[in-house]
Amino acid sequence: MWGEFGHRNGSILPHYLEPHNYCFGKKSFFRKTEKRMQIKITPMAPKKLLVINPNSSRSMTDSLDQLINDLDEEITTSTQIQTYTAPSGPPSVNNEDDALESAKIVLKDLESSLSNYDAYLVACYSVHPLVGMLRDKVSPHIHVTGIFEASVSTSLSLLPLKYDIPSDHQWSKFGIVSTGAYWEKALSDGVKNFLDLQDLKSSGRFKGVETTGLNAIELHTSPPEVVRKKMMEATKRLVKNRDVKIVCLGCAGMAGLDRIVEEALLEELGEEDARHVHVLDGVKAGIGALESLLRALPAKRK
């Protein structure tokens, strides 16, 4: 049984552009009427990126689709982005066993069509084994990452460059707001291994993980006031010492909940200090990272 796919098409370049005499908008280029020599430009086929929801909850993919559509309204891209839902398996990835089961199901479902895409994003905030499995199967020019890896990499790029900053320096760390208590240790260990550290204290850059007690499904099925309360409490615990510069949303199911986190920042830090803190969605970070890789490391010409 095949998983479900959704679509989002990016901008398509025109066949001809008039030099020094054109403007462009959201979906197409508009040429002025003045006659000038035309330059023929061969349009490149748009790159294709698949965002994988490795659990079987269609509602989770619906929230990803909404996030991607909103992102498309903000930033023009020529990348074609599709979403995918696992055909079976856990409705929510709540531990390592769920992650491994979902990885095996998705890989089996997609294995025969892996050459159809230029990049893959695994939209589960964990050290998900599907990332490594896909990398082992695809060609070297096809890029794969997970939203966990993308958010950690992006966070590090936003932190101060001075490596000997005091551990209590303001706005010098990143932290994660996630779902169930299981993820406090699992994601902390994931950060330690990703950065190849003996222990996290030697980093001075990672604040830690605070959790809501709600799993990914409950983020969308619980009463909104409960979700808001739990998200705000976890965020306030994370940032109360004023040393966190980036708050990572530690679950794909938190797509669209960044406004709640921003409200918590305002209440806990005040308007002046809250403006120093970024709220980072892993799906947005992952799409951005993969689009950058597609530009920086395209397939080699034969």
Q: Closest Cα to residue 298, out of 141, 145, 144?
A: 141
* Separation of first and last alpha carbons in the chain: 35
Question: Alpha-carbon Rg of the chain, whole angstroms?
Answer: 21
CB atoms within 10 A of CB 40: 7
Assign residue 116 a region: left if phi > 0, alpha if psi is -120 to 50, beta otherwise? alpha
Which contiguous run of DSSP H or E holds residue 289? helix 282-296
Fold match between domain 4-147+285-296 and domain 150-281: yes
Amino acid, single-letter form, for residue 101: E
Q: Which fold has domain 4-147+285-296?
A: Rossmann fold (3.40.50)
Going across the sheet that includes 173-178, the strands are 206-211, 173-178, 244-249, 278-281
Which regions in the chain score pLDDT beneath 50? 10-34
Delimit the domains of the chain by residue range. Answer: 4-147+285-296, 150-281
Q: Closest Cα to residue 4, out of 80, 104, 106?
A: 106
Residues with Cβ < 8 Å from 179, sequence gap 6 or more?
Answer: 94, 211, 212, 213, 214, 215, 216, 218, 219, 250, 251, 253
Burial (CB < 10 A; 0-12, 13-18, 19+), residue 28, is exposed
Structure tokens that stand for 147 in this block:
């939203």
Specify the pLDDT at position 13. Answer: 36
Q: Are 269 and 277 in contact (CB under 8 A)?
A: yes
Class of domain 150-281: alpha beta
Q: Alpha-carbon distance 275 to 288, whole Å?
A: 22
Specify the pLDDT at position 2. Answer: 62
pTM, full prediction = 0.84
Specify the pLDDT at position 121. Answer: 98
Angle at which helix 147-158 crosses helix 182-194, to 10 degrees, equals: 60
CB atoms within 10 A of CB 24: 14
CB atoms within 10 A of CB 84: 24
CA 222, distance to chain mean position in Å, is 23
Specify the pLDDT at position 73. Answer: 83
Q: Pairing between strand 206-211 and 173-178?
A: parallel
Q: Alpha-carbon distance 43 to 13, whole Å?
A: 6
Specify the pLDDT at position 5. Answer: 74
Q: Alpha-carbon distance 232 to 180, whole Å?
A: 15
Q: Are 243 and 185 in contact (CB under 8 A)?
A: no
Specify the pLDDT at position 175. Answer: 98
Q: Pairing between strand 48-53 and 80-85?
A: parallel
Which contiguous run of DSSP H or E holds residue 58? helix 58-74
